[in-house]
Amino acid sequence: MDKNKKRRRPGHLGIFNNFGMKIAALAISVVIWVVVNNINDPTYYMTINNVPVKLLHTSLITDQGDVYSVLDGTDVIPTVTVSARRSIIDVLDDDNIKATADVEDITSLNTVEIKLYSTKFNSEIIAIEPSIENVKLSIEKKKTSTFTLRTQTTGELADGYELDSVTPEQNQVRVSGPESVVSSIAQATATVNISGASSSISTYSDVVLTDADGKVVNTSSLTMNITSVKVNVSVLPIKSVPISVDVSGTPASGYLLDEKVSVDPDTVRLAGRSSVLSSLESIAVPKDAVNVSGASEDYNTVVNIKDYLPDGVSLADSSFDGKVNITVGIEPVKNVTVDVAASDITLNNVPSGYKAEISAVTDGTKTVTGSSDGTFSFALSGLADDVDSLKAADLAPSVDVGALLAQSDGTLTSPLTGAVSVTLPDNVTQTNVVTASIRLTKETEASSEESSQGSSAQNTEDN
């Protein structure tokens, strides 16, 4: 044995034996482990829609007296894609994915980067990818304005009812927000639907802001002291009533009222409480409003019917101003004479045992005897329509003999003289005095018997 030959100790540098093959084996093992692991728990993806972005540190804007608004809806991410092992994806919910944008990182373009994370297994997630990367902001000076709240209604009330008033319980709206938005507001309105209503309404209505063109202003960037308001709507029943007119005064000499009073319009539609309307039969225009003193032709005047409405009652027609035209007919007096025979006069209340006869009639211009065929005249004046149609029979002339006796203390003085009375239509007057002389004679027994015999004979003849 060669003494100079070194002997190897067992195992000396044995680990380096076939070192390359060992490295290769290790690499293969790792690859196999990865492959096997991926086969058993591969990478999966999940998609989440409409993920909201929470803005952080917005006080950096508002503390400077500015306001911000999000542009283009960029505070909501349309789509977020999450990639992770299947075992992770399987336990994630949409709510686990959160998005923030920190105003501390705002750029000169007023954009803020969106950052995403998961509330579960955040470190195990391979990637979270949003479809948009920034929130876009508009930053303006803050403006506050106050608007008077306007009310309006839609729809139609039930038939027979009228809208009385629409009153909000609060009539001021204070609005704060971006100067450009607040400056565009022209008015604030609360609208109430009154379709079919037959009684008063009390309801809440949304406050709507509109610009000068009537377009609704988006309030998402605004703050308002009220967004809805209670509105009280008063609804009243309607009743149609006629207009009555009283006339005062006397027309000029030689003229008369023809009693033809016309009113245009002659009825009005009124609205008011039922308790008032139920007892209201007409609207009366008083005498002092229609005075025809000295008129020699038709009298015309205009009155405002509103002046004569009871408390709590109003005109139902908003287009009617309340003015009515009143015309009172005025006609010249017409004078006529009606001829009457003395025999046409009826003698009334003749005392028992006496007979009365007309001995003479005087009409102021002539005298006729009771036995003559002459006639006397009644002088009459009035409206043409009234006097033109009068006939002697219409007048029914008479003398109250009993009244004449009473005036003479019951003394049967003969002759008795008194006025002949007639029956005249309204607005016709007698302008002359007609008197009659009445002769009273005591009936004799013979004349009584003759009268009785005459009656018996008449009865026999009739039988």
Residue 77, domain CATH:
2.170.120
Question: What is the pLDDT averaged over residues 105-126?
Answer: 95
Strands 346-348 and 398-400: parallel
Residue 5: band (very low, low, confident or very high) from pLDDT cuts 50, 70, 90: very low
457 part of a folded domain:
no
Residue 200, domain CATH:
2.170.120.40
Look up the domain containing 212 and give its range: 141-237
Q: Which pLDDT score, from 0 to 100, does residue 411 have?
A: 61
d(CA 398, CA 359) in angstroms, rounded, equals: 14
399 part of a folded domain:
yes
The domain boundary residue, chosen from 332, 356, 378: 332
Is the per-residue pLDDT at 226 higher than 70?
yes
Residue 345 has what DSSP assignment?
Answer: P
Residue with tokens 């007096």: 333
Please count the other Cβ atoms lying within 10 Å of the Cβ belonging to residue 403.
Answer: 14
Same domain, 359 and 413: yes
SS3 state at 145: strand
Q: Which pLDDT score, from 0 to 100, does residue 179 have?
A: 93
How do residues 31-78 score in pLDDT, each as one tens digit? 665 555 556 679 999 999 999 999 999 999 999 989 998 999 999 999
23 part of a folded domain:
no
Please count the other Cβ atoms lying within 10 Å of the Cβ belonging to residue 344.
Answer: 16
Same domain, 354 and 399: yes
How do residues 353-379 score in pLDDT, each as one tens digit? 888 899 999 998 999 987 777 899 999
Same domain, 316 and 253: yes
d(CA 438, CA 399) in angstroms, rounded, equals: 9
SS3 state at 88: helix
**Total of domains in the chain:** 4
Where is 26: in which H helix or E strand? helix 19-40
Report which of 239, 237, 248, 154 is spatially closest to residue 192, judged by C-alpha positions. Answer: 154
Report which of 392, 381, 390, 379 is spatially closest to residue 340, judged by C-alpha positions. Answer: 392
Same domain, 318 and 278: yes
Same domain, 78 and 179: no
How do residues 144-173 score in pLDDT, each as one tens digit? 999 999 999 999 999 888 888 899 999 999
Same domain, 349 and 437: yes
Is the per-residue pLDDT at 395 higher than 70?
yes
Same domain, 219 and 173: yes
Q: Which pLDDT score, from 0 to 100, does residue 25 have?
A: 72
How do residues 201-211 score in pLDDT, each as one tens digit? 999 999 999 99
Tokens linked to 28? 């293969």
Same domain, 193 and 151: yes
Strands 354-362 and 367-369: antiparallel
Q: Which residues contact 327 (CB under 8 A, 6 or more apart)?
A: 261, 262, 264, 298, 299, 300
Distance separating the N- and C-terminal Cα atoms of the chain:
206
Same domain, 163 and 229: yes
| Cβ pair 164, 314 in contact under 8 A | yes
Q: Which pLDDT score, from 0 to 100, does residue 116 have?
A: 97
Q: Which pLDDT score, from 0 to 100, does residue 222 have?
A: 92
Same domain, 233 and 282: no
452 part of a folded domain:
no
The domain boundary residue, chosen from 191, 208, 237: 237
Q: Which pLDDT score, from 0 to 100, does residue 462 have?
A: 43
460 part of a folded domain:
no
d(CA 301, CA 22) in angstroms, rounded, equals: 128
Residue 223: band (very low, low, confident or very high) from pLDDT cuts 50, 70, 90: very high
How do residues 434-455 score in pLDDT, each as one tens digit? 999 998 888 774 444 444 444 4
What is the average pLDDT score of the chain? 87
400 part of a folded domain:
yes
Report which of 227, 161, 232, 150 is spatially closest to residue 195, judged by C-alpha positions. Answer: 161
Residue 336: band (very low, low, confident or very high) from pLDDT cuts 50, 70, 90: very high
- Amino acid type, 32: I
Cα 299 off chain centre by: 36
423 part of a folded domain:
yes
Q: How many residues does the chain have?
A: 463
Same domain, 344 and 398: yes
Backbone angles phi and psi of 374, in degrees to 5: -75, 165
d(CA 163, CA 145) in angstroms, rounded, equals: 31
Q: Which pLDDT score, from 0 to 100, does residue 276 have?
A: 87
Question: What is the pLDDT averaged over residues 174-184?
Answer: 94
Residue 390, domain CATH:
2.170.120.30
Residue with tokens 């609208």: 191
Helix intervals (H) in 312-423: 384-387, 392-395, 401-407
Same domain, 169 and 181: yes
d(CA 75, CA 96) in angstroms, rounded, equals: 17
Backbone angles phi and psi of 13, in degrees to 5: 60, 35
The domain boundary residue, chosen from 332, 356, 389: 332
Question: What is the pLDDT averaged over residues 208-218?
Answer: 96
d(CA 454, CA 458) in angstroms, rounded, equals: 6
Residue with tokens 């084996």: 25
5 part of a folded domain:
no
pTM over 0.75, yes/no: no
Please count the other Cβ atoms lying within 10 Å of the Cβ belonging to residue 336.
Answer: 16
